[in-house]
Structure 1
Amino acid sequence: MDSYDLVVLKTVAICEYGVRAVSAKYIMKCDDDTFVRLEAVMAEVKNIPNGKSLYIGNMNYRHNPLRIGKWAVTYEEWPEEDYPTYANGPGYVISADIADSIVSEFTDHKLRLFKMEDVSMGMWVERFNKTRPVEYVHSVKFCQFGCIDDYYTAHYQSPRQMLCLWDKLQAGKPRCCNMR
């Protein structure tokens, strides 16, 4: 049975697959309703000097937990007043060393799991950053609310919109499609 609560475990599995199964340098997590301009994402990643630990996406800094509504978090679940810096869940990239650390901590039963996978990733990267510096890179082009022109990722895209985005991309124009 699939549920939103399992996304955090799927994220750990993505980290394990990207390091242990295919030896990737970077791992990108994105939602299934997110269209990705992979060549643009990789160009942004390549701006970071080789060998640096990397966390790139549309970052939230000092974001306060919502205490009411759909994404409500109780004080028992998260007693702190703000979350660690984290990239929004529709699409972000981490370097393999961070992924490897996540898998190791999970295997050793030391990984703190939180119900929101993007916040969990922020916690895990923050912990990793205490032992090895991480290059945090923020870009609004990892669009979390839909699509912006010259996007890296476009979220909440229907299959029809993805086909339209692909067609526009093939024509050389990373432009949004506003149909439903």
Structure 2
Amino acid sequence: MQNSDVKRTKPPWKRFRQWRFISVLLVSIGILLFTLYNSRTESFTLLRSSFVSSKPLTSEATPALPQVPTGEHPSSPYTVPYPHPYHFTLDQPSRCRQESPFLVLMVPVAPSNREARDVIRSTWGTETTVMGQAVNHYFVLGQPRDGENVEQLQKQVLEESQTHGDILQSSFLDSYKNLTIKTMVMFEWLTSHCPNTSYAMKVDSDIFLNVRNLVDMLLKSPRQLYMTGVVVRDAAVMRNVDSKWFLPVSEFPEPSYPTYAMGLGYVFSMDLPQKIVEASSHVKAVYIEDVYVGLCLRYLGIQVSDPPTGGFGTFKPEVTDNCYWTKVITTMLWDSNELKNTWTAYETQTRQCL
């Protein structure tokens, strides 16, 4: 037999190397395909999340978010259990309907912060009739947290409610991460309790509020689809995990927020609360409350308006003479004690700056 007709066989060590190479190649291809599949799935999920949070409201109702029992938090620390059938444990069921105020001021505050409530009652909360228009105020509370001597604190809040008639307390846990819940139950309450009111305002307890300037502005403002305050546009989403307002891409994939009014104090026409509550069934509730209201408004296709005369300020300037307090609508202060002194300055300037 000639050499050319002899069937050549590879040595065993060469066959082993060949099969090892093929095995490694097949495993690598499998890993690559698996990675690409997961990447495409994640991208689709993020894109769908962005689409759902921004599409306009239609007659085809999207299923509401799963309801989470009171006190139980969702799997993500950046979302909150809303919508949910929270209920008011302390209420003023008929006051707003009976008094039919032009403007209702809603102040979110912790149950333990009695000082802030008392200071407001003795300063801008005394403004109950302005330019012939009735003005009401209410304090919005959640439930005390563990370690706050809950039973004694609840007794004090109940007595305070009976004395002043301005406490609204709901069944959620009062905490910073639940401010979105507090804001949404505020909208729910306004929808069901104030049918004859023209405007409402959400205003923080550390804010100086010039009610006269506010009412004067509102008398010239639109009565429908209107919200104004300190308007924020194109704010970057905080991706630094050390930030108080951190949101991961998995919860909010867009690089910037839609336009919204800062939560320190924004005013709105009374057709908006019900619309925002309805939109909340279609927009995932993040814990940053003013951003969430902006997301609901975007879903509805409603724009936040700049105030016609400015006046909505943030931090207190170094110089507040030259009738400063008579010209602004809001200014952020350090605490309730500063509000006492600020109100004295405001009353003095009111007399001097006629």
Do they superpose with TM above 0.5?
yes
Deviations 1:124-178 (A, max 9, x none): 12222x2xx556124753222335633211213322211112112222349xxxx
Q: Is this contact kept in 2: 1:52–1:135, CA < 8 A?
A: no
Q: Who is 1:137 aligned against? A: 306
Q: Is this contact kept in 2: 1:19–1:100, CA < 8 A?
A: yes
Q: Who is 1:154 aligned against? A: 331
Q: Is this contact kept in 2: 1:38–1:152, CA < 8 A?
A: yes
Q: Who is 2:260 aligned against? A: 86
Q: Who is 1:178 aligned against? A: none
Deviations 1:41-93 (A, max 9, x none): 222222223x3311100101111112112222211121101101011111001
SS at match of 2:305: strand
Which piece of structure 1 moves more, 82-91 or 96-105? Answer: 96-105
Partners of 2:206 and 2:304 in 1: CA distance: 27
The one-letter code sitting in structure 2 at the alignment partner of 1:61 is: R
The one-letter code sitting in structure 2 at the alignment partner of 1:136 is: S
Q: Who is 1:115 aligned against? A: 287
Structure number with greater Rg is: 2
Indicate which of 23, 38, 60 corresponds to 2:211.
38
Q: Is this contact kept in 2: 1:52–1:134, CA < 8 A?
A: no
In the alignment, is residue 72 of structure 1 matched against residue 241 of structure 2? no
Change (3 A) 1:5 1:54: same
TM-score (norm 2): 0.44
Q: Mark the runs of 5 or more structure 1 residues left unpaired by the alignment.
A: 175-180
Which piece of structure 1 moves more, 56-65 or 146-155? Answer: 146-155
Q: Is this contact kept in 2: 1:141–1:152, CA < 8 A?
A: yes
SS at match of 2:261: strand
Q: Who is 1:13 aligned against? A: 185
Highest RCO, 1 vs 2 (Cα 8 Å, sep ≥ 6): 1
Shift of the alpha carbon at 1:105? Answer: 3.8
Partners of 1:19 and 1:159 in 2: CA distance: 29
SS at match of 1:162: helix
Partners of 1:60 and 1:159 in 2: CA distance: 26
Partners of 1:73 and 1:140 in 2: CA distance: 30
Q: Is this contact kept in 2: 1:35–1:157, CA < 8 A?
A: no
Partners of 1:79 and 1:117 in 2: CA distance: 18
Shift of the alpha carbon at 1:122? Answer: 0.9
TM-score (norm 1): 0.81
The one-letter code sitting in structure 2 at the alignment partner of 1:28 is: M
SS at match of 1:90: strand
Aligned residues between the structures: 168
Change (3 A) 1:38 1:157: farther
Q: Is this contact kept in 1: 2:279–2:299, CA < 8 A?
A: no
Q: Mark the runs of 5 or more structure 2 residues left unpaired by the alignment.
A: 1-144, 146-173
Q: Who is 2:345 aligned against? A: 168
Deviations 1:83-120 (A, max 9, x none): 010111110012111111122344xx334311111111
The one-letter code sitting in structure 2 at the alignment partner of 1:137 is: D
Normalized per residue, the structure richer in helix is 2
Q: Is this contact kept in 2: 1:37–1:151, CA < 8 A?
A: yes
